[in-house]
Amino acid sequence: MFQRQDRMIALTFDDGPQPGPTNEILDILSENQARATFFVLGNIAIQHPDLTRRIVQEGHDIGVHSLSHPNFQETEIYEVYRELIDSTLLLEDLLGIPVKYVRPPYGFSTAEAQFLFDRIGLQSILWTYDTLDWEILDADVIAGNMLENIQPREIVLLHDIHPATAQAMRIAIPQLVDQGYELVTISEYLETQENTLS
């Protein structure tokens, strides 16, 4: 018998929010009773406060993706701290909820940065499947690759700043749901993983 985690996928979106693609992705998720996680840039989120609030209001997770997307491996540690704390406080003030997750830009980090994540109270979340949507920029190819290659329990990397990514989700999300996958937030994903281990 399948356990819940055997049919879970966590879609995650980086670098937004951007009104066109992000709103379309949120519409598609709503239409399919699916949830996701958005790792937003503080400098972008503050420009689109209503859209940033919409993410949380519709039941999705939101996480920090830094303030301005530097490479933490090439950034002085005091600047890494500023990027983290400024974006975290900005989001918490805007949303009125604690922010629990961080995804370092490019997935690059250091031991010092990881120490800061812990001190600030942010859990670092990477990915297990990279769609390369930012490079491909073709909705049919992005969706086709996902549907052909994705496995249960994947954490999927996407970017909600590209129209092609939103168009790909219009293709892929309904088919994943039809195949019996449950599209969940990182919080739901981690909770199920913890329950499996306990």
Residues designated catalytic: 14, 159
Give which of 6, 52, 74, 33 is closest to 160, Cα–Cα. 52
Amino acid at 25: I
Q: 3-class SS at 139?
A: helix
CB 159 within 8 A of CB 22: no
Structure tokens at 87: 């974006």
DSSP string, 82-101: HHHHHHHHHHHHHHSS---E
